[in-house]
Amino acid sequence: MLAAFSLFLGLLLFEGTQHDTILEPAPIDTPQPVVKDVEGKVALFIGDSHTANHSFGWQKQVCKRTGMILKNTAVSGKATLWMVETALYTIQGNVGMVFVYGGANDMYGNIPVKDALDNLAAIARMCAGRRVPCYILTGFDPYECVSINNPQYKLKYQNMQLALLEKGIPGATIINTRVVSRQDCADGLCHMTLTGHTKVADAVIKTCKFKTIN
């Protein structure tokens, strides 16, 4: 009886092994980078002289490489309060996104860091109210790029940039453009050469994850 049971058990085990299959590990999907196709969207640029280069400025390069439609309101010498006023009547219609590059002139003058940040925050709120993405650039590293002897300006501008990077602005994406070197500056206040503008354009496209067409 015991022998018969052992034989029966052995047949069951044998039959089970005939139906066992080796499971291959499931393939691991490699996450693909999220790329935003912005071709045809209207990009509004608000800024000062660092965005007012109409020949090879970073804003022109970004639009050319992504297919966005350029709308540039930047004017040399302007501060962030002027940019708030400009935003009031330009963030409208078919504007698809807004880029703000400001603060250098504020920090060179007597405007407190907090006031400049509050002005940038006001622009971000306007964008949020109109459901338009807002991107704020930090600007260049003043200690790396500025050669004029104005330590107060360098300190204030750096403090403003660090506040943007560490605390951010509600409703805005901060783009770290402290990628420019002294060799990319055409003067003591770092009005950029072609290489500087190209580095800023690269930083914008990379941070925003924009799809390029050129």
pLDDT tens-digit profile of 119-173? 999 999 999 999 999 999 999 999 999 999 999 999 999 999 999 999 999 999 9
CB burial string 114-143: b at 16+ within 10 A, e below? eebbebbbbbbbbbeeeebbbbbbbbbbbe
Query: What CATH number does the domain located at 42-208 have?
Result: 3.40.50.1110
pLDDT category at 35 given cuts 50, 70, 90 is: confident
Task: Confirm if 142 and 188 have CB atoms less than 8 A apart.
Answer: no
pTM of the model: 0.84
Q: What is the dihedral of CA 169, 173, 178, 180, to 10 degrees?
A: -140
Q: Which amino acid is at 92?
A: Q
Taking residues 76-91, report their average pLDDT: 98
Q: Which residue has the higher pLDDT, 214 or 159?
A: 159
Supply the pLDDT for residue 33.
Answer: 57
Per DSSP, 5 falls in state H
Q: How far is CA 13 from CA 7, 8, 55, 149, in A?
A: 10, 9, 80, 88
The answer for residues whose C-beta is within 8 angstroms of residue 75's C-beta and 6 or more apart is 48, 52, 82
